[in-house]
């Protein structure tokens, strides 16, 4: 449908006046510049938007700098005009020379020199900017202000290497698929070898990749001696097993680690690019493995991706760095973007963008019907096929011109363009390919139709074709000399690696980062009490409670039938259920401890971790399963000792200090742990609770919670803690360190050791492996209360109770704290035994408390709003 009205934009709000005039000059020469009839070029005016001042003291103020390839630079000296009128001649080796006597160079050399010239000028700009000679709006030009526009990933790699040779870092933005990268092909070889490690051919193909990093000598040796392959075969079998058992993602990470891929690739000039591609490919393969479950299926998927020419956003090559670097970007991807300085090194290449039509399906723009898909039969007439292919070439030529326009209009202040003629290759010393270049068409094709420019063989072979094009570029430079400078392609001979100025490389002290806002911190009970804990020894250390003295038998007077803490005024008495028959019922009895008694179990944090793991993994009601779980926990703890003892400055265990072998120690600890489990799990803890009767369906280990603690009056929390201490019969000493305000403005995270359901009520259990002493008296009510206060466990159980209360409110219908919550048990497991009983017949080593419902409600309000309640009614 033909539009009723046509609108155009005639103002450029991006570029400088000089650049706008230069683009106008280039696209005004050829009346059919855009190839398509009716699509004419309209002059563009400078918009009203202010432009920053660009200053380059060592170069001209021209907006467009055109560099002519060797052999293409027109002789513009008046004295040489006679020479310039002569036709091209062939030199001795068949290369074509222009009127100035310079030989055209083959296309590969032209590509290399174009890249090197751009890199050399970029180095000059950055170096002069560091010296204050190049600036934008009074600020030094930075590498990130410079963009190099290319058509293909191959061209991008060429310019990236040229920049790296001058020690200029760059970043590549491309629409190309990562599956078209060299890394994708190498990774496929590696994956094939992992799939079949015994296949020597596949394995050697994998070892020959740059990813694996073997040199030629190592590869040669592997070809001659299979023994050299065995270490690789072993590792590749490991990778196959990991892939099969745990998936591609786990295997790939292990492969990167064991083969030291990152450390090897990142020392290369293109290391960041290669590593980014590899990680991207690993991610895509991991995602695909969720669908392709088998190794063979995933390898088939990878092969299909490598053969797929379609573009998908999620597989586009990723940006390897976000630093302030020179940007290498495809022209397609640059649409809509702008850059202060732009380089266009390869627009002269006439083959980029030309497809090789397949004989089966042809896509083109029909003059009458528009976009057309043509299916070719074997009987199709050759003449019609040629017409269709010519139309395809015209479509591609029009697209190339549009991309040239996009490229030249991305710059704000300055653009560099490489142009001219070249030889097709070293073997084919003909300039005919370059004489049909669409960049040259803009300048020298005004008197020809697009069909004649592209398909007239006589014109391409005309010995004057190169001279005609060179003279057209010369005429452009003379007619638009105010905005365009045409010169010979610069040489790399005088370029040196870029050395950063002292001002840039000078090291300065890194300022301290601002502290994170407390409301965004993740903290825990341990972190909250760390300042307080620094005044006493660590958890589970021997004599950890000397800040508050404990009952000691040597300080207790011999009294018939009792052990009394006279220093504390306590009337707590510990008795043994099984005293010798020849002693009175109320006499003091201290049983002799066996060598395998739990009180001799190693002390310290590692021991605590070991015992917690045992309780977390065993099934309370299946004693036959305990030995295996105990051995696992002991093995883990032993490894932890070996790897971390030096780091944590831990003392060796008592057993090892006395020369007992690790095997004997492990067997002894096993007996201790088994005895401890038998004691703890068969002791009646109170409330009729015996843990050995709790099956796995009525307990939940290591319940994780997170509570947001809003800003509040922390003195109210201290008051709550003081009240809780009084409720258990203790006074908080005046010198106790108060919790600081910043400690509780956070997300509070923790793990509840165990939650059980017993008699339709829920109990919270926390295992404590603290060594309080070697007598029953050391695990009586008063020592336990003081140890609870010593480490502020009363704050811990209040927080745990609140977390469980909030959880139960969401999960239990008609929940009521008073009837559904049973209370808190802190089990000091070294002193929990069925026959160790306090005077009131309660078990030793057991601290029990059910916090007051009002205390939990106050803490709930203090921390902030609890989770929204569901449809179930709840109450305290």
Domain residue limits, the chain: 11-174+324-352+413-488, 178-315, 524-592+683-875
Name the average pLDDT for the chain: 79
Q: Report pLDDT digits (tens) over 712-767.
A: 667 788 888 888 888 877 766 654 545 555 444 567 788 999 999 999 999 999 99
Distance CA 812, CA 820 (A): 9
Query: In the chain, pLDDT over 70 holds for what percent of residues?
Result: 72
Taking only the tens place, the pLDDT of each residue in 431-486 is 988 999 999 999 998 888 888 898 888 888 888 899 999 999 999 999 999 999 99
Average of per-residue pLDDT across 481-509: 69
Q: For 80, phi and psi rounded to 5 degrees?
A: -100, 10
In this predicted model, which residue has the larger pLDDT, 281 or 424?
Answer: 281
Question: Could you tell me which residues are beta bridge partners of residue 756?
Answer: 699, 763
The CATH number fitting domain 178-315, selected from 1.10.3470.10, 3.30.9.10, 2.60.120.620, 1.10.486.10: 1.10.486.10
Are residues 27 and 41 in contact, defined by beta-carbon separation less than 8 angstroms? yes
Give the single-character DSSP code of 535: T
DSSP secondary structure string, 789-840?
Answer: HHTTHHHHHHHHHHHHHHHHHHHSTTEEHHHHEEEEEEEEGGG--TTEEETT
CA-angle at 123, arms to 122 and 128, nearest 5°: 100
Comparison of pLDDT for 548 and 21, the residue scoring more: 21
Residues 6+ apart with CB under 8 A from 749: 522, 523, 524, 704, 705, 706, 707
Mean pLDDT, range 491-502, rounded to an integer: 56
More confident residue, 30 or 523: 30
Distance CA 751, CA 486 (A): 73
Gap between the Cα atoms of 167 and 165, Å rounded = 5
User: Residue 866's pLDDT band (boundaries 50, 70, 90)?
Assistant: low
Q: Give the DSSP letter of residue 515.
A: P
| CB within 8 Å of 711: residues ≥ 6 apart | 518, 519, 741, 745
Tokens of 457: 């063989």
Token representation of residue 234: 């072993």
Can you tell me the distance from the alpha carbon of 199 to that of 197, in angstroms, rounded to the nearest whole number?
5
> Alpha-carbon torsion 261, 160, 180, 176, what sign?
positive
Specify the fold of 11-174+324-352+413-488.
Answer: Rossmann fold (3.40.50)
Question: 110, 433 in Cβ contact below 8 A?
Answer: no
Examine the pLDDT at 1 and tell me if it is beyond 90.
no
Question: Looking at residue 872, what DSSP letter applies?
Answer: S
Per-residue confidence band for 549, with pLDDT thresholds at 50, 70 and 90: very low
Checking if the pLDDT of 126 tops 80, the result is yes
What sign results for the dihedral spanned by CA atoms 290, 295, 297, 303? positive
Residue with tokens 């088994």: 674
For residue 643, pLDDT beyond 60? no
Lowest mean pLDDT segment, chosen from 224-228, 554-558, 632-636, 816-820: 554-558
> Which has more confidence, 267 or 536?
267
Q: Could you tell me whether strands 134-136 and 54-56 are parallel, antiparallel, or unpaired per DSSP bridges?
A: antiparallel
For 337-378, how does the pLDDT look when each residue is reduced to its tens digit (9 = 90+)? 999 999 999 999 988 656 555 555 555 566 555 666 655 554
- Which residues neighbour 406 within 8 Å (Cβ) at sequence distance 6 or greater? 331, 334, 335
At residue 370, the pLDDT reads 61
Query: Which letter does DSSP use for residue 477 in this model?
Result: H
pLDDT in tens, 271-322: 888 899 999 999 999 999 988 888 999 999 999 999 887 766 666 776 666 5
Pairwise CA distance, residues 533 & 770, whole Å: 14
CA–CA dist 825, 797 (Å, integer): 9
Residue 656 predicted with pLDDT over 50: no
Asked if residue 579 has pLDDT above 70, the reply is: no
In 10 A of CB 170, how many CB atoms? 27
Tell me the pLDDT tens digit for each residue of 406-420. Answer: 999 999 999 999 999
> Given this model, what pLDDT does residue 80 score?
40
Look up residue 151 and give its two tokens.
């058509």
SS3 category, 81: helix
Which residue(s) pair with 347 in the sheet? Answer: none
Is residue 217's pLDDT more than 50? yes
Model pLDDT, residue 543: 31
pLDDT at 566 over 70: no
**519 vs 711: CA distance, rounded Å:** 8
The whole-number pLDDT of residue 490 equals 76
Strand intervals (E) in 73-210: 89-90, 96-97, 134-136, 139-140, 146-150, 170-173
Q: What pLDDT shows up at residue 313?
A: 62
- Residue 326 · residue 171 · CB < 8 Å: yes
Which range is most confident: 146-155, 220-229, 265-274, 369-378?
A: 146-155
Of 662 and 243, more confident? 243
**Band of residue 843 on the pLDDT scale cut at 50, 70, 90:** very high
pTM: 0.51
Q: Do domains 11-174+324-352+413-488 and 524-592+683-875 have the same CATH topology?
A: no
559, pLDDT greater than 70: no
For residue 512, give the DSSP letter. Answer: P
Model confidence band, residue 585 (pLDDT cutoffs 50, 70, 90): very low
In angstroms, rounded to a whole number, what is the distance separating the alpha carbons of residues 72 and 195?
A: 54
CATH for the 524-592+683-875 domain, from 3.90.320.10, 3.40.50.150, 3.50.50.60, 3.90.180.10: 3.90.320.10
Tokens of 158: 């060429």
């Amino acid at each position: 449908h033909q539009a009723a009205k046509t609108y155009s934009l005639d103002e450029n709000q991006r570029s400088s006046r000089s650049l706008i005039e230069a683009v106008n000059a280039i696209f005004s020469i050829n009346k059919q510049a855009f190839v398509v009839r009716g699509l004419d070029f309209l002059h563009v005016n400078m918009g009203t938007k202010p432009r920053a001042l660009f200053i380059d003291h060592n170069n001209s103020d021209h907006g467009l700098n055109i560099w002519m390839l060797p052999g293409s630079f027109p002789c513009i000296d008046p004295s040489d005009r006679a020479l310039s009128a002569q036709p091209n001649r062939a030199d001795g080796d068949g290369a074509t020379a222009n009127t100035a006597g310079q030989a055209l160079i083959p296309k590969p050399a032209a590509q290399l020199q174009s890249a090197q010239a751009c890199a050399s000028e970029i180095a000059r700009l950055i170096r002069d900017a560091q010296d204050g000679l190049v600036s934008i709006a009074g600020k030094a030009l930075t590498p990130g202000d410079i963009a190099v526009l290319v058509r293909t990933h191959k061209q991008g790699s060429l310019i990236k290497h040229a920049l790296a040779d001058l020690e200029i870092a760059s970043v590549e933005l491309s629409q190309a698929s990562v599956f078209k990268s060299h890394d994708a092909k190498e990774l496929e070889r590696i994956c094939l070898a992992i799939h079949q490690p015994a296949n020597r051919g596949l394995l050697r193909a994998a070892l020959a990749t740059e990813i694996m990093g073997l040199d030629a000598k190592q590869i040669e040796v592997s070809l001659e001696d299979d023994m050299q392959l065995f270490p690789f075969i072993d590792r590749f079998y490991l990778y196959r097993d990991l892939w099969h058992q745990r998936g591609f993602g786990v295997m790939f990470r292990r492969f990167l680690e064991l083969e030291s891929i990152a450390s090897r690739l990142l020392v290369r000039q293109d290391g960041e690019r290669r590593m980014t591609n590899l990680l991207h490919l690993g991610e895509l393969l991991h995602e695909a493995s969720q669908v392709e479950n088998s190794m063979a299926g995933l390898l088939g998927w990878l092969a299909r991706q490598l053969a797929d020419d379609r573009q998908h956003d999620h597989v586009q090559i990723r940006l390897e760095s976000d630093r302030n670097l020179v940007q290498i970007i495809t022209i397609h991807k640059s649409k809509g973007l702008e850059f202060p300085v732009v380089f266009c090194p390869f627009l002269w290449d006439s083959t980029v963008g030309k497809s090789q039509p397949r004989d089966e399906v042809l896509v083109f723009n029909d003059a009458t019907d528009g976009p057309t898909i043509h299916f070719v039969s074997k009987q199709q007439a050759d003449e019609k096929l040629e017409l269709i292919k010519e139309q395809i070439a015209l479509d591609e030529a029009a697209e190339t011109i549009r991309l040239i326009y996009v490229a030249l209009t991305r710059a704000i202040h300055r653009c560099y363009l490489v142009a001219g003629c070249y030889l097709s290759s070293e073997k084919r010393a003909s300039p005919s390919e370059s004489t049909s270049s669409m960049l040259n068409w803009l300048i020298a094709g005004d008197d020809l139709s697009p069909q004649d420019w592209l398909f007239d063989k006589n014109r391409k072979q005309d010995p004057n074709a190169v001279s005609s094009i060179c003279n057209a570029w010369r005429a452009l430079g003379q007619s638009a000399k105010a905005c365009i400078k045409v010169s010979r392609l610069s040489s790399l001979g005088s370029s040196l690696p870029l050395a950063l100025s002292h001002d840039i490389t000078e090291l300065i002290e890194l300022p301290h980062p601002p502290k994170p806002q407390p409301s965004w911190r993740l903290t825990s009970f341990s972190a909250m009490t760390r300042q307080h804990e620094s005044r006493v020894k660590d958890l589970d250390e021997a004599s950890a409670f000397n800040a508050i003295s404990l009952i000691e038998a040597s300080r207790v007077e011999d009294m018939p039938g009792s052990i009394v803490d006279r220093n504390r005024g306590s009337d707590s008495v510990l008795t043994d259920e099984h005293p010798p028959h020849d002693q009175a019922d109320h006499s003091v009895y201290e049983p002799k401890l066996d060598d395998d008694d739990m009180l001799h179990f190693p002390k310290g944090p590692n021991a605590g971790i070991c015992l917690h793991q045992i309780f977390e993994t065993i099934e309370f009601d299946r004693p036959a399963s305990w030995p295996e779980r105990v051995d696992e926990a002991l093995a883990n703890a032993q490894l932890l000792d070996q790897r971390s003892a030096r780091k944590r400055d831990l003392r060796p265990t008592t057993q090892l200090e006395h020369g007992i072998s690790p095997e004997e120690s492990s067997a002894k600890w096993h007996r201790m742990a088994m005895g401890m489990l038998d004691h703890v799990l068969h002791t009646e803890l109170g409330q009729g609770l015996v843990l050995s009767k709790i099956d796995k369906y009525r307990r939940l280990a290591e319940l994780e919670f997170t509570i947001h603690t809003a800003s509040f009056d922390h003195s109210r929390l201290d008051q709550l803690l003081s009240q809780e201490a009084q409720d258990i019969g203790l006074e908080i000493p005046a010198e106790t360190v108060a919790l600081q305000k910043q400690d509780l403005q956070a997300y509070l995270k923790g793990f509840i050791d165990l939650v059980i359901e017993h008699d339709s009520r829920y109990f919270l259990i926390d295992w404590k492996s603290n060594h309080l002493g070697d007598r029953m008296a050391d695990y009586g009510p008063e020592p336990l209360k003081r140890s609870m206060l010593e480490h502020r466990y009363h704050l811990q159980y209040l927080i745990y109770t609140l977390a469980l209360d909030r959880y139960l409110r969401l999960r239990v219908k008609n929940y009521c704290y008073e009837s559904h919550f049973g209370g808190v048990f802190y089990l000091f497991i070294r002193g929990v035994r069925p026959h160790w009983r306090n005077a009131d017949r309660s078990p030793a080593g057991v601290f029990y408390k059910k916090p007051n419902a009002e205390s939990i409600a106050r803490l709930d309000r203090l921390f902030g709003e609890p989770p929204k309640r569901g449809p179930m009614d709840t109450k305290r």
